[in-house]
Amino acid sequence: MVLFRGDIKCKSLQRRTSISVILPSDNIHFLQDAEEIVPQPYKTLYLLHGLYGSDDIFLANTSIQKFAEDHGIAIVIPCGDNSFYLDNEKAHAYYGEYVGQELLDITRNIFPLSDRREDTFIAGFSMGGYGAIRNGLKYSQNFSKIGMISAALITDEIVDYVSDSNVLRSREFYESVFGDLDKIKDSDKDPKYLIENTENVPDIFMACGENDFLIDKNVDFYDFLKSKNVNVDFIQAPGEHTWEFCDKYIKEFIKTLNL
């Protein structure tokens, strides 16, 4: 197993930004005097963190590194700041373009990653779950499966927010990220709109805790996907909006991939 942590320069953000990359190579078991060789190029999961996070947060709070090794998959974790992985034209911070296309181009040039759609997946936790569905659909030519763990499907709700000192409830914060909140519906920031306007919708995996404050929004989105005949699996299980839940169900998502 190789863990790379470093900085890359990207046009989409007009700056350097950090990434963490897990590669299933050098899988040597010294005590057993054995070595497992994972064929290259590697199938790859682009994994998006939640609000307040960074590219190292999955490494600190989950056992994803060992799980990737056991399942022979590369995992690329970018830093998305608090962007919801959307394009902010005023700040020239095109996070959607970055995780949907440029990050793939950069990492494939550096590491032995497959460039085939069927070998490429995108998933995320909380804010990252929203980023995964939004950009997995917007850049559906690049991804064959989308994983949404406790996804922050809040676009129908934030339009009614008012000023608040708490970022999670702050209209000003969401306006800085989404722009005019009244224009989200029927735009490429609206996952339901994207579902209806994407020709080749990737398969979708959803998981949300029964006591998660986002459960109703996830159930509503699942029902919508079923009404549109999207190939989707949804796990509702005991749990809350926690790293323990994320750790368990990001692994369940990886188990569903064709590895």
Torsion angle of alpha carbons 9, 12, 14, 15, nearest 10°?
Answer: -40
Tens of pLDDT, residue by residue, the chain (259 residues): 789 999 999 999 999 999 999 998 766 655 555 567 788 999 999 999 999 999 999 999 999 999 998 899 999 999 999 999 999 999 999 999 999 999 999 999 999 999 999 999 999 999 999 999 999 999 999 999 999 999 999 999 999 998 888 888 899 999 999 999 999 999 999 999 999 999 999 999 999 999 999 999 999 999 999 999 999 999 999 999 999 999 999 999 999 998 8
Q: Using an 8 Å Cβ cutoff, are 181 and 174 in contact? A: yes
* Distance, CA of 236 to chain centre: 19
User: Rounded CA gap, 114 and 149, in Å?
Assistant: 24
Counted residue by residue, the chain has a size of: 259
The residue to which tokens 């990653």 are assigned: 113
Please state the domain extents for the chain. Answer: 2-255
Reduced to 3 states (helix: H, G, I; strand: E, B; else coil), residue 123 is strand
Out of 3.40.50.1820, 3.40.640.10, 3.90.226.10, 3.40.50.300, the CATH code matching 2-255 is: 3.40.50.1820
E-only strand ranges, the chain: 2-10, 15-23, 27-29, 34-36, 44-48, 74-78, 87-88, 93-94, 120-125, 145-149, 203-209, 232-237
Q: Using an 8 Å Cβ cutoff, are 136 and 201 in contact? A: no
Reduced to 3 states (helix: H, G, I; strand: E, B; else coil), residue 255 is helix
